[in-house]
Amino acid sequence: MSTSYQLDVGKIRRDFPTLKRDVNSGASLVYLDNAATSQRPVQVMAQITRFYRDHNSNIHRGIHTLSVEATEMFETARSKVGQFINAQDSREIIFTRGTTESINLVVNSWGRKFLKPGDEVVISELEHHSNIVPWQMLRDSIGIELRYIPMLDNGHLDMETANKIIGPKTKMVSITAVSNALGTIVPVDEVIALAKKQEALVLIDCAQSVPHMAVDVESLGADFIAFSAHKMLGPTGVGVLWGKLNILESMDPFLGGGDMILTVNMEHSTWAEVPSKFEAGTPNIGGVIGFGAAIDYLNDIGIDNIRAHEMELTGYALQKMSDIPGITIFGPDTAEERCGVISFALENIHPHDIGQILDDNGVAVRAGHHCAQPVMNFLGVPATVRASFYIYNTKEEIDALVSGLLVAIDLFGVKS
C-alpha cells in the first residue's frame, strides 16, 4: 500500500472535540461509524456560530445588510460545492435536506413528468432503501416497471446481467456509486455507458463516494448525482442534488411555496429559474454555510489524500480482522475495491450484541441492516456489524476494534 501521501492525522484529530471524549466509565471513544455520519471539525462549528451570531437573516428576499450578507454566504457555499464536484454552473447545485430528499426530488419532479406505464427504471440489489422505496412508490402510482441488477457473492454487481437488463425500455438507471452496507465501489462508468447506449438518464447515489474519493460530474457522464453534507464533515439536514441544467429546467417543481415562484395569482403560478425552482421555503441557511466550511476543510486535506489514507486503514483492518476466530467479512476482498467500510459477522454472536460489547469498550460501530435489507437477504443474515473509517481514524483504533471483538468472543465462549 502506497504511503506517499502526507496526512497529519494527529493534527486533524485536534480539530474534532468529540474524538477527545471518554464514554462508558472512562473508555476512550473510537468512532468507527462514519458511513452513518461523520464528526464535525471546530472550523465548521465556528462558521455556523459566526453566521447566527453576526449575519442571521433570511436570504434572497431582503435588501438590508444582514440579508445581503447571508445571501452572499449561502451562495458562496453553493459555488464551493459546485467546484468540489467540478460542476460547470453553480445553478446545477440544488440544496435539499439530504441524499434521500434529492433522490425523491428526481423521482417526483422528473419521473412523474416523463415516465409512463411500461417504462423501465433499473436499480440494483446493492441500493440503500432511499434509492429503492421512492421508485417502488412511483411504480405503484403510475405503473412503471422496476428492474434490479443482481449482486454477486463477492459483493460486486453482476455486470453481465446488467448488460441484458438495461435495454430499449430503460428510461432511467438509478444506482449507488458505493454500497453503504459493504463498501463495494460500483463501476458506475460501465453502468453509465450501458445506459447511454439506450439513451436512458442516470442518477448516481454518491452519498458514500463524494466524501471519500474524487467525483467529477463533468467527466462522469451521469445526469444527476445526490449526496449529503453530514457524511463529509458538514451539518445534518443538508443535501445536494446536482443535475444537468437543461434537464433541471425541463422538470416540474418538487415542493410549492415561497421563493420557488416567479408570479402567483389566484388562478395560476409560474416558477422561478433553477435552482430556486427546487428550493421552496426557507432553507437550512446556517447548515449550508457550515457545509461550505466543511468543503474548505476537505480541500485543504485533498481528496486524493483522503482516499489513500482510507485505503491504508481498510487494508490494515482487513488483514487484522481476518485472523479473528469465527469471523465472516462480507464484500470485496481488497481495499482497492472498497471505500472505508467493512461489514462482518461473528459466529454465534448476534450483531447487536457485538455492537453493545464494542460500545462498552468505547468503540462505536453500526449494527443492523444499514437500510439495505435486500443486501442482508442476499447474504442470508438479519444484520451485520459495520465499521467505517474517515480522515481522523488510526491503525490504533482498528487495533481497539479487534481487541473488542476478541472480548466479545471470550464473553460468549465461542471456540475457534
Residues involved in catalysis: 371
DSSP track, 135-149? HHHHHHHH--EEEEE
Query: Per 3-state DSSP, what percentage of the chain is helix, strand, and coil (rounded to 5)?
Result: 45, 20, 40
| Closest by CA position to 183, among listed 226, 126, 102 | 126
Residue at grid coordinates 430499449: 168
CA distance 82 to 210: 12
CA distance 58 to 132: 35
CA distance 204 to 192: 9
The H-or-E segment that residue 335 falls in is none
CA distance 76 to 80: 6
CA distance 93 to 84: 11
Bridge partners of 121, per DSSP, are: 146, 172
